[in-house]
Structure 1
Amino acid sequence: MKTLNHYLVYASLITLATHSQAVSAPIQITKTTNIMNTETLTNPVVKKAIDALQAGDKKAWFALFTENAELFDDDHKMEFKSFFEKALGHERFTGIDKVENNGLSVYGRFHSDQWGNFKTYFKFQLNAEGKITRLDIGQASY
């Protein structure tokens, strides 16, 4: 689905192409990023994880988890590493609605390129060293 910004860029390019005047500088089109405010996240590890998810930053994301981190998607155990290798860069929060459990549980609106838009939860568990040992995700109804 094209955004309004994409249509405005296309319209500008068409307008430039139809004029007989030469353009002195090349036109640069950059991909827009999906920026969301994560300031409501009170746990610093969870904030780093959500920021990495939003940016699709695999290196930053995986660095926050233990080697044997567990993932449960709607209570079904999933293979953590392969799940997020596919998901990062294609899934993200579009808004955070509430944060609970000392900042470890995040509820909000979510977008998946594969599944569309829905409400979700991410519930993090940390070890004593501050690494994420378990992540429960799923569709939320609140």
Structure 2
Amino acid sequence: MTIQTSRLSDPAVRAFVSAVNAHDRERFMDLLAPDATMADDGTDRDLTDWIDREIFSSHGHLEVDKETNHGRDLVAHYSNDTWGEMRTRWHFEVGEDGRISRFETGQA
């Protein structure tokens, strides 16, 4: 069963999912710490290149199935125009300022 975005526990993660699904790159970037990093399937990636390719130019969309770790770990169905739909896992590290300093994703 899908969890409504508005019901996700962590405010930063909730805003992240909302920005992805609204295709709002500016709001998405505002959620990230200036030196934010990310990894895909265990390999660090160039953040700007990855989000442009995997989220914004390919119409990425997240439907969250499960959250743990106070809302900072998700299992979700992720879809985009490039890869179709897949079951994915997401992990978020959020700084004291409420901005995301790192996120990791990969197939679940």
Structure 1-normalised TM-score? 0.69
- Kindly indicate whether residue 103 of structure 2 is the aligned counterpart of residue 132 of structure 1: no
Name 2:81's counterpart in structure 1: 113
Residue 92, structure 1, aligned to residue 76, structure 2: no
1:48 aligns with 2:15: yes
Structure 2 unaligned residues grouped into runs of 5+: none
Any runs of at least 4 consecutive aligned residues in structure 1 with deviations exceeding 3 A, and if so which? none
Q: Which has the higher contact order (CA 8 A, sep 6+)?
A: 2
Given residue 53 of structure 1, which amino acid in structure 2 is its aligned partner? V
Larger Rg: 1
Secondary structure in 2 matching 1:68: strand
CA-based RMSD: 1.4
Identical positions, percent: 26
**Partner Cα distance (1:114, 1:85) in 2:** 12
Structure 1: gaps (5+ residues): 1-35
Count of residues paired in the alignment: 104
1:39-78 superposed Cα distances (whole Å, 9 cap, x missing partner): 3311111101100000110000000101111110010010
Instruction: Trace 1:31-110 onto structure 2 (pairs within 5 A).
Output: 37-86=4-53, 87-88=55-56, 90-93=59-62, 95-110=63-78
